[in-house]
Structure 1
Amino acid sequence: MTIAFLNGDYLPLAEARISPMDRGFLFGDGIYEVIPTLQGKPIGFNAHMARMRQGLEMLEISSPFPADYWRAVVNSLLTKNNELLQSESVGIYIQISRGADATRSHAYPDDLTPTLFAFAFATPPPPVPDASKVKGLHVALGEDKRWQRCNIKSTSLLGNVMHFEQGKREGKQEIILFNRHKEISEASSSNVFIVSNGVIKTPPLDHQILPGITRKLVIECLVKEGILVEETVLPLAELLAAEEVWLTSSSKEIAPVIEIEGKPVGNGKVGKIWQQAIEAFNQHKFNF
């Protein structure tokens, strides 16, 4: 029986209820975070909390709960669900919506109490840090048709869901998106890195790209090892000509891509620079 957190209480997930007038349900008016943990230790907790605060500020949702409050929730959910999940890799989903109002109005209502929700779920184990053993991803390509504020980690994910479904229907594990200028933005649920002429590159942050926490940690971990990452515009043609392509997210960590639209990336095998990246990430990922 999964135990969830809802508005200060811990209860079975199957019994958790919110009002149908909650703006998170009616409008997707809220933000969320997924905090990965490994052997009970959160990865990038402070960075996740900082992004959550920024998201709440951008949506003008008032939340007085500090990071220590959410750290206690994360620890409690790990403890309460330990026997059920029986996994070293666990994700903690946190969602804060603006709350429930008596009427449905597009305008922000005054003085609502935010709805706080969190639950724990088992996640796949981290990738094996061995280029000769890890399985690479096969991905599709698609034109980015989402809204213009993808930098907000909003619960309004319909565009991402539709893109992901497109990739799934094509038999792929993800879909990398490009804008009308044929420049890479991100994937439907991941950030994108490439290795081009031996240089690691990733698109710069803007309103079309989620400031992924794993993206941030990968860059900072590589810098600690003296390896620089260029944040630069990535033309679609450069992606297709890259020696290596990686996708990063809380659940994937650093996932190598070996095929795009049926064509191999580089030599079609996981690359040696990915090996350096995953080793650097594993060495430093708990320090943020």
Structure 2
Amino acid sequence: MKPENRTFIISGGCSGLGLATARDLHKAGAYVSLLDLNSGAGEKIVKELGERSRFFEVDVSDTASVEKAVNGSMEWVQRTGKEVGGVIAAAGVGGAAKIFDARSESPVPISQIDFVMNINLRGTLDLIRLVVPHMVKNKPTVPDNERGVLIMVSSSAAFDGQPGQVAYAASKGAIASLTLPLARDLARHGIRAVTIAPSLFESAMTAMLPEKARKSLERVMEFPIRPGKPEEFSSLVLQSIENTMLNGTVLRLDGGMRMPSKM
């Protein structure tokens, strides 16, 4: 599938990996619908990208908020005539906390687990389930009868999570696990599902890492010895859109890095 003259709905589209993806898709001739909580950033980016972009203020953990943004995106699609080619579910949070805090002698608050799971996992599935009914109505491409692609974001933590990443690893592991069943669910409709699992990448979330943690991660990097760049993530998104044989799979984007069990 070529991204040109198709609409892509991107959650977390106003920063980090989502923003890099929006910019690259826009360069490729796509229309981008940006879903994000940061209205100030959203307005700035739409001004930068111009007419082939729209911003919707969204809390991905709130179904009513997601539904409103999807409806708004579809109204825009009806005006432009540019079908929804795909979803890039890039909204996510970290939230490090061990399951038991020895200092306070108490378990992690369930509200903290819910916060991470609701954004990373529930928010991804909620967005996808609301967009898919529109995608199945797309005119299929020739020769493969493709109607769209769903691109999700997992993490190295899905495979080798560190202490304090129980909730985060659970949310990202679930994304990795649901990729194949989702692809199988939607195969008859010509809709693919692909997940990208990045390691340490430059983003607003990783910018908050303590220097000690960052240095510890750099010591276990193979090559290159640096965090990934958002543009390296977005280039893989474009390849996942254009390469129809990518389906039901999780693509590790980590330079051979495996996260250590201890800092």
State the TM bucket, normalised to the shorter chain.
Answer: under 0.3
TM-score (norm 1): 0.26
TM-score (norm 2): 0.27
Larger fraction in strand:
1
Larger fraction in helix:
2
